[in-house]
Amino acid sequence: MFINFLYFLFISLSCVGYGAFIQNKTNIKSKEFNNLGTFGITGIFLLNIIIYTLSFIDKINPLLNLLLLVGGIFFFFFYFLKISKKKTYLYILIFILIYLGILIGKPHDDFHYYHFPYIHYLLNSDFIYGVGHLNHGFRTSSSIFYINALFFNPLTGYGTFHFGAALYMLFANIYLYEKITFFNKEKKKNISIFAICIFIFINIFFYRIGEHGTDRSAQILSLIFLFEIFIFVNLENNIENRIKILIILLGLIVSLKAFYILFLVFSFVILNHLYFKKKNLKKILYTIFFNSIFILFFINISYVIIVSLINTGCLLYPVSFTCLDDLSWSLGSVEAIKMNNWYELWAKGGATPNTRVSDQEEYLTSFNWVLNWINIYFFNKVSDFLLGITFLCLIIFFTFRLKLSFSNYRFKLISFVILILIIEWFYNHPALRYGGYSLIAGMFFLILSSFNFKKSITNITFQKNIRYLIAISLSIFLLRNIDRIIQEYDKYKYNPIQNPNYTFNTHDFRVLKKIELLKSDINCKEKKICKDNEFKINFLSNKKYFISRKNND
């Protein structure tokens, strides 16, 4: 347990070091962004790009991983004097709490289904064109698999594969706390309200880090993205720096879950604001596109598309019109349509672990699914979520003595864009895990943060209330995780002191076994074909061809 704790600290500081490096080199140097939270998120963004690049060259190597992380530690100490060290005790407290959150006895089912197998595949095999044939989950890859593969080392073993989600949680908490304190000093109370809402939400609603998967990390960053958009359209300072941070956040969000490409619609909000502020199209385009952060963003998104193409033959699976059917390894547009319908059926309540509707096509037609969705999903998942969000907003409303009248803060255009995305979410994939949490919560928090304050509240009272809410939310996070660990100890005999890692079985390694079978089934008569590793496996791919990057015998 102690070794894992030290290693988690090691990789956290490495991420901060890389973030300090990239922000220094790209001139993101304002006081608002000079903190561990921003550096950490930016560092993960850079490490994502690096590990994607290395994965194209060879399988991810633990020794190279370690050297890469040591480089981050070097940058951490190099830029140490520039890193804000105020409230260090709170950073340490949050770090310890987050570490308790990753003492996990049983991950969620998707972890064993495709999260761990994909990470294991990255570590033990060079990529194979068409690997999506081997496992449905491999068709929708996520950058969190790559970042978790980066954190693997033989000393800690496979128990570090939740460190990626934990880092997002850690840096998001610090990021939000820094924003709260910064805007308190700037007397921007409405902005602080938005930040404290997100802070409370992620620590109470998303306290189970083992359940984060690829969805929760993306939704945490999505809420921060909406928060930064709100600041962007309401403040006149740090415009260029804020654009760079928004680009970093969007790059991470899309890499975690590709369907968040829809968040590009917020570029309309940014362009609209810049146009009415500068009224100079050339300056607007230069501000957004002619900076090094946008180049890194473009590389990051390109990697997401390339990996999807390699795994499935589709640029953005399961969007069927992006599939290139002529590629020998392609899953094909017909299969993409089937999978898209399956995802939609699951999200709309037409399929559960125990039941499935008989006429799927009829069920998905128009709004035939709504009544059943309400019965089996809205009650009680969505309804409980809405009640929880409403209760949280009421606490904030009365704690800070808000009143039902809007301030001068701009929020209508952002609300309109969020509403469009909520409509799209409800019509196509109305499951909270598919963006519902962040969109609905973001709308609530945006409106709440736009209310006026009553004159009776003082700055001292406001700051005290903020401290109380932070303490309460972190206490709830702590107590709920302690209770979870106790339950896992009783049910699964999980003892984090003796062994902090969750258990594995032979089924978790099944994909690599399929790959080994694939390699043993080489059918080639010419040396050149053997050297290029063109593998034909009828029993796995219906006569599709899997092509390895290089000979890995």
pLDDT in tens, 185-221: 888 999 999 999 999 999 999 999 999 988 999 999 9
Q: Give the separation between CA 94 and CA 334, rounded to whole angstroms.
A: 47
Give the per-residue pLDDT at 387.
97
* Token representation of residue 487: 């339950």
Give the per-residue pLDDT at 282.
80
**Mean pLDDT value of segment 1-14:** 92
Ramachandran quadrant class, 332 (left: phi over 0; alpha: psi -120 to 50; beta: rest): left
- Res. 541: pLDDT tops 50: no
- Please count the CA atoms within 13 angstroms of the CA of 275 that sit on its side-chain side: 7
Q: Which amino acid is at 323?
A: C
- Please count the CA atoms within 13 angstroms of the CA of 70 that sit on its side-chain side: 7
pTM equals: 0.93
Residue 519: pLDDT band by 50, 70, 90 thresholds? low
pLDDT in tens, 294-329: 999 999 999 999 999 999 999 999 999 999 998 888
Q: Give the torsion sign (CA, 406, 410, 411, 416).
A: positive
- Res. 547: pLDDT tops 60: no
Residue 553: pLDDT band by 50, 70, 90 thresholds? very low
516 contacts 98 by C-beta, under 8 angstroms: no
Q: Give the separation between CA 113 and CA 116, rounded to whole angstroms.
A: 7
Residue 532: pLDDT band by 50, 70, 90 thresholds? very low
Give the per-residue pLDDT at 540.
38
Q: Give the separation between CA 396 and CA 197, rounded to whole angstroms.
A: 8
How distant, in Å, are the alpha carbons of 17, 313, 537, 541, 552 from that of 522?
A: 45, 22, 8, 14, 12
pLDDT in tens, 224-246: 999 999 999 999 888 899 999 99
Give the per-residue pLDDT at 197.
98
- Res. 550: pLDDT tops 80: no
Residue 517: pLDDT band by 50, 70, 90 thresholds? low
Write down how long the chain is: 553
- Res. 530: pLDDT tops 50: no
% of residues, the chain, pLDDT over 90: 68
pLDDT in tens, 323-370: 999 888 889 999 999 999 999 999 999 998 788 998 999 999 989 999
| β-strands 451-453, 534-536 pairing | unpaired
Q: Domain-by-domain residue ranges, the chain?
A: 2-312+476-485, 523-553
Residue 534: pLDDT band by 50, 70, 90 thresholds? very low
Give the per-residue pLDDT at 480.
96
Cβ-based burial of 550 (10 A; exposed 0-12, middle 13-18, buried ≥19): exposed
**Mean pLDDT value of segment 414-442:** 96
- Structure-model confidence comparison of residues 537 and 3, the more confident one: 3
**Mean pLDDT value of segment 541-547:** 42
221 contacts 256 by C-beta, under 8 angstroms: yes
Give the per-residue pLDDT at 526.
43
The secondary structure element, H or E, covering residue 190 is helix 189-205
Cα 295 from chain centroid? 21
Instruction: Return the minimum-mean-pLDDT range out of 113-122, 277-286, 350-359, 448-457.
Output: 277-286
216 contacts 164 by C-beta, under 8 angstroms: no
